[in-house]
Structure 1
Amino acid sequence: MSKRMTLQSLPKTSSFTKKLTPDPRIPSVKVALDPSTPQELFHVARRLIGGAYTYCKPTPRKEYRFLTASPYAMETLGLDPSEAKDKSFQELVSGEKYLTDPFPYSQAYAGYQFGQFAGQLGDGRVVNLFEVESARDGQRYELQLKGAGLTPFSRFADGKALLSSSIREFVISEALSAIGIPSTRALAITALPKTYAMRARHEKCAVVCRMAPTWIRIGTFDLYKWREDRKGLIELSNYVIDEVFHNKMVEDEQIKREVEQEISKHNITLTRYDKMYFEIVARNAKTVALWHVYGFLNGVLNTDNTSITGLSMDFGPFAFMEYFDPNYTSNHDDHTRMYSFANTPSAIWFNLVKLGEDVAELIGADQELLDVPDFEAGIKQEWTERMIQRAGKIIEIAGTVYEKLFMDDYLKLVCQRIGISPRDTDHTEILGPMFEMLRATKIDYNDFFKILQHVPLEKKLDYEATAELFIPKNFQEDLVNDYTKENILKELKSFLVVFKDRVEREQLSDSERLSRASKVNPLFVPKNWMLEEVIEYTTENDLRPDYIDKIMKMGTNPYDRAKWGDELKDLEERWCSDVSFELKMGKCSCAS
């Protein structure tokens, strides 16, 4: 392993600002640093007439109180974890101090929100700091501050982030990644004790230092389509291909096989823009499969919240589903259930279709047209029909690829969670009965898989006693919701008969099942009621981070209980126990 570095010592760059066109009102760092440049350009809402970003500075706050850093994120960057105690580190990840080389900036993007185009959006409370390469593996990460103050994209908002929502994002970003679900990351969280914001009530604010290989989202492409900025769209696409994907697209064996299988039916030779589109489609398909396997809902899946690299991002009203309910939505403002658990795959596909429409002129052109010297200048009339047909076909093929990748990964991963090898018949023979049982019993979704992997099936099974294993020690019956021991035992016994038969037909030993399943069944996932306890404790105990640190230890070591620490064992036990039904499946607001 490479020598541990510090955030201070890591070389810092900004390929985004070097490669992409800036806001013409602040066209250079020199102008940004010039005292004569009107300060309202940095912090007053305005529409950018061009460019991918505008230079922007964090808003100074009256007081900063560093809460904690994520050891897991520090490890990802190859940093010395003790650096989190240094004042210079804390100043940098809070926005109390910032570098001017590279100079901070905020990204511009647009987006479809709940299916409707919303125009220019952008980083309304985010300031991007710089890019660093991990000292561990060389992976590039772009660090940014959420809650850093007003930007030109703040619209009617205040540029602030609540402490409560910041704690939620800090925890879930790291927990998802530790489970194995692609996600943006959170390096540190800093409270702003004297900075308040009004949402449902008056609340303290905070800043989260987030990191990701890129923060480009589908909404970034939406912006250029809306502006009718063809040159900018080509510039952005080339940046994504060269700097984000490093020209390595459709190279994953599974993705390559599915794409080639479909395009071979249509006599299409892929261009670099086709590959970019398919890569974005494929990565999102695979992430959505993971969300479904683990029962995770983002809550808001607009195009401006959909990463081009398939990362879970922009966490607001998210949740881990506590019992199986396909109609569940974690967003209490989602009255039509557009982003419910069942609708998640179609919601992301809607966004990917919009991306296809954004880049239609690029995926509509075959290599012959792309090689025409004046192609970038505009589309000739005689090319139009040919390009429309090709773009439509590419999007159609992408839909097939998206569905196949999602279904294949979903089947494979769900089967691994129950310890069996996937078979085409499993959808109807085992998964159908399993999810119907989970829906009917309302037992804890994640705990079910944890317990099932330990059920001994090699010997004659006492179905009554085995079903009892799934009843929590502190089981709290709820007659209104049919959450009763009698119902649970009845449904579980029926399922166990089917499951035992399926395992015996594959001739699997108990140890084989456990070996497979334990690799993908987390012992802990952070649920909304737990996060509410963390928030309440932190705010009522002078911003002490004890509960944050505890849930982070558990969340970032989901497969290894030995790393959860010796502190707060009673709390740990409660977080691994059943709670009253009214606390489950909570919903959150978009306001954060």
Structure 2
Amino acid sequence: MQDTNSSTLPLAALSSAQLQFANRFADLPPAFYTRLQPTPLPAPYLVGFSADAARSIGLKTPAADDQHFLDLFTGNLIASGSQPLAAVYSGHQFGQWAGQLGDGRAISIGDLAAADGKGRIELQLKGSGKTPYSRMGDGRAVLRSSIREFLCSEAMAALGIPTTRALCVTGSDQRVLRETAETAAVVTRMAPSFIRFGSFEHWYYNQRHDDLKILADAVLAQLYPELLDSANPYAALLKEVTRRTAHLMAHWQAVGFMHGVMNTDNMSILGLTLDYGPFGFMEAFDANHICNHTDQQGRYSYQMQPKIGQWNCFALGQAMLPLIGSVEETEAALGEYQAQFELRHAQLMQAKLGLRSTQAEDGTLLDAMFAILQNSHVDFTSFFRQLGNLRIDDTASDEALRDLIIDRQAFDAWALQYRARLRLENSEDATRKLAMDAVNPKYVLRNYLAQVAIDKAQNKDFSEVERLLQILQQPFDEQPEFDRYADLPPDWASHLEVSCSS
């Protein structure tokens, strides 16, 4: 893998025909991937486009009928320098070793220089046809899941949570079979790299330590060059990935995001949120909530996510042990996880409550708050957003909050403690509200909002996809014209289920 980072900013936004592709992953030995062409889709059309994601690669917004753009990002056209390929990896799925997996329906079409001159960005077409790693799958994605991934990738980025990005969704009238017949779609996703924990596990469990070293050396050179001068760069790499993963879990918990399928093949070596399948944002709070209908045992429930993040880091540590060379150094690198998670989570929760300092009793205050959320099944996003309206010397300001809560006496008792805590640091209402509104989103991608957009898109009306994207890219702003998008879910939304089927 040669590093072809560019330090030159683009002078102007480029069209898709002007993009200069390379493919650093193709510089690895042939055992790491299979070269193949995406399978074309007939008569593609544009479903959604993120101008914000496009800016990161210097790409201008295309016309809806820009055929070159549609063909390139559907897989019907191969750009010069692209060298499309599907990568091999393995992984633990639901805690069990699953063996070889790989890009079963995602094909990398190469990488582009980042518009800010800092590194390169890889692009993948998810849903672009069968690969040697498809197993029993057809290699396609459906419009439903593609819209969900597109919107959530961009929503998470706007929330400030590390994530892969989504450039666009293209659709086609070609039918694919899931539980029912649906139409096919391709989502173009972007990241500095899509290398996973399972990429390392693949070579470890196949006892190919030379290939394991090739992969690790490439990751260090390409993605973590600052670690190359460490006494043990492999231990330093594990420590940094562990730290990033712990911080990512803290971000998920703080915003109420549930991934749904935290298998090691879905864990990014960069600490990014990767592979949006049966995800969900917490609504009626339940720490045991399982957002993935397929997860019958609750392994990936909301409250389990931090522990599973740690478990996955230990799986990566096991795979990297031959490179690190010492059980003690491996354990030391992994030992960062819990302290890093607790530190970052505490910082995020402190900000969500509008606190400027740390006090010994803060843990008790938080525990009491989460007990109220649990016992009254309070809407997670609405609670924290409304909490910013609380005024220290005016209990009448609590009414909107109290309307969310069944056990109002418990809330009133907690609010007394919270007000006392605010007075302790001479908190000022208006200043605190501004700070809290900047970290407690008003808008998240609730499942029912995504479903409304999907239903319209299935009838070729993509206006709701565009509108939702616009709202979710400014999640902390009031946007009064879109107040209804912050409403509690309607009764019919309780019947919505998401699973691994997509």
**Aligned partners of 2:164 and 2:191 also within 8 Å:** yes
Equivalence for 2:484: 574
Render the CA deviation track for 1:494-533: whole Å, top value 9, x for unaligned: 2211110110111111133223222211221011111111
Equivalence for 1:224: 203
Equivalence for 2:6: none
Equivalence for 1:510: 429
Question: SS in structure 2 opposite 1:421?
Answer: coil
Alignment of 1:62 with 2:42, yes or no, is: yes
Question: SS in structure 2 opposite 1:186?
Answer: strand
Question: SS in structure 1 opposite 2:76?
Answer: coil
Equivalence for 2:168: 188
Equivalence for 1:80: 60
Cα distance in 2, alignment partners of residues 418 and 128 from structure 1? 42
**Aligned partners of 1:301 and 1:339 also within 8 Å:** yes
Question: SS in structure 2 opposite 1:164?
Answer: helix
Cα distance in 1, alignment partners of residues 342 and 493 from structure 2? 32
Equivalence for 2:17: 8
Amino acid at match of 2:467: K
Question: SS in structure 1 opposite 2:370?
Answer: helix
**Aligned partners of 1:324 and 1:438 also within 8 Å:** yes
- Distance change (3 Å), C-alpha of 1:358 and 1:217: same
Shift of 1:91: 1.6
Shift of 1:84: 6.4
Alignment partner of 2:321 out of 330, 341, 360: 360
Amino acid at match of 1:461: D
**Aligned partners of 1:175 and 1:526 also within 8 Å:** yes
Render the CA deviation track for 1:161-188: whole Å, top value 9, x for unaligned: 0110111000000000110000101001
**Aligned partners of 1:330 and 1:586 also within 8 Å:** no
- Distance change (3 Å), C-alpha of 1:395 and 1:345: farther
Shift of 1:561: 4.2
- Distance change (3 Å), C-alpha of 1:550 and 1:426: farther
Cα distance in 1, alignment partners of residues 296 and 41 from structure 2? 37
Render the CA deviation track for 1:288-323: whole Å, top value 9, x for unaligned: 100000010100000000001010011110000113
- Distance change (3 Å), C-alpha of 1:59 and 1:2: closer
Render the CA deviation track for 1:317-369: whole Å, top value 9, x for unaligned: 000011321101101111111001111011111111111111111112xxxxx
Question: SS in structure 2 opposite 1:289?
Answer: helix
Question: SS in structure 2 opposite 1:8?
Answer: helix
Shift of 1:448: 1.2
**Within-5 A mapping of 1:427-576:** 427-457=362-392, 460-462=393-395, 465-470=396-401, 487-539=406-458, 541=459, 543-562=460-479, 572-576=482-486
Cα distance in 2, alignment partners of residues 344 and 250 from structure 1? 31
Shift of 1:403: 0.5
Render the CA deviation track for 1:399-457: whole Å, top value 9, x for unaligned: 43111110000001111011103525244331111111111222221111111112221
**Aligned partners of 2:440 and 2:476 also within 8 Å:** yes
Cα distance in 1, alignment partners of residues 180 and 65 from structure 2? 32
Shift of 1:124: 0.5
**Aligned partners of 2:238 and 2:334 also within 8 Å:** no
**Within-5 A mapping of 1:278-297:** 278-297=239-258
Alignment partner of 2:88 out of 105, 108, 111: 108
Cα distance in 2, alignment partners of residues 178 and 164 from structure 1? 22
Equivalence for 1:202: 181
Shift of 1:214: 0.2
Render the CA deviation track for 1:123-174: whole Å, top value 9, x for unaligned: 0011100100122343411001000000111111100101101110000000
Alignment of 1:591 with 2:501, yes or no, is: yes
Cα distance in 1, alignment partners of residues 228 and 370 from structure 2? 33
Amino acid at match of 2:308: A
Equivalence for 1:43: none
Cα distance in 1, alignment partners of residues 248 and 330 from structure 2? 19
Question: SS in structure 1 opposite 2:371?
Answer: helix
**Aligned partners of 2:47 and 2:457 also within 8 Å:** no
**Aligned partners of 2:448 and 2:489 also within 8 Å:** no
Shift of 1:573: 3.6
Alignment partner of 2:301 out of 340, 350, 362: 340
**Within-5 A mapping of 1:392-431:** 393-423=328-358, 425-431=360-366
**Aligned partners of 1:322 and 1:585 also within 8 Å:** no
Cα distance in 1, alignment partners of residues 12 and 428 from structure 2? 43
Question: SS in structure 1 opposite 2:134?
Answer: coil
Amino acid at match of 1:576: A
Render the CA deviation track for 1:559-580: whole Å, top value 9, x for unaligned: 2345x9xxxx5xx343221234
Cα distance in 2, alignment partners of residues 404 and 587 from structure 1? 35
Equivalence for 2:212: 233
Question: SS in structure 2 opposite 1:123?
Answer: coil
**Within-5 A mapping of 1:38-187:** 51-82=31-62, 86-99=66-79, 101-187=81-167
Question: SS in structure 1 opposite 2:162?
Answer: coil
- Distance change (3 Å), C-alpha of 1:96 and 1:141: same
Cα distance in 2, alignment partners of residues 422 and 358 from structure 1? 40
Cα RMSD after superposing both structures:
2.1
**Aligned partners of 1:69 and 1:84 also within 8 Å:** no
Cα distance in 2, alignment partners of residues 288 and 249 from structure 1? 23
Amino acid at match of 1:551: L
Question: Gaps spanning 5+ residues in structure 2: where?
Answer: 1-8
Cα distance in 2, alignment partners of residues 121 and 284 from structure 1? 22
Cα distance in 2, alignment partners of residues 249 and 586 from structure 1? 45
- Distance change (3 Å), C-alpha of 1:75 and 1:85: farther
Shift of 1:581: 5.2
Question: SS in structure 2 opposite 1:448?
Answer: helix
**Aligned partners of 2:46 and 2:70 also within 8 Å:** yes
Cα distance in 2, alignment partners of residues 67 and 580 from structure 1? 26
Work out the number of aligned pairs and report it: 493
Render the CA deviation track for 1:85-114: whole Å, top value 9, x for unaligned: 632122211112112523100010001000
Question: Gaps spanning 5+ residues in structure 1: where?
Answer: 23-50, 252-268, 365-389, 476-484
Question: SS in structure 2 opposite 1:203?
Answer: strand
- Distance change (3 Å), C-alpha of 1:427 and 1:287: same
Amino acid at match of 1:548: V
- Distance change (3 Å), C-alpha of 1:585 and 1:3: farther
Select the structure of larger CA radius of gyration: 1
Alignment of 1:271 with 2:242, yes or no, is: no
Question: Given the two structures, how large is their TM-score scaled by the length of structure 2?
Answer: 0.93
Equivalence for 2:280: 319
Cα distance in 2, alignment partners of residues 585 and 357 from structure 1? 41
Cα distance in 1, alignment partners of residues 202 and 398 from structure 2? 54
Shift of 1:551: 0.5
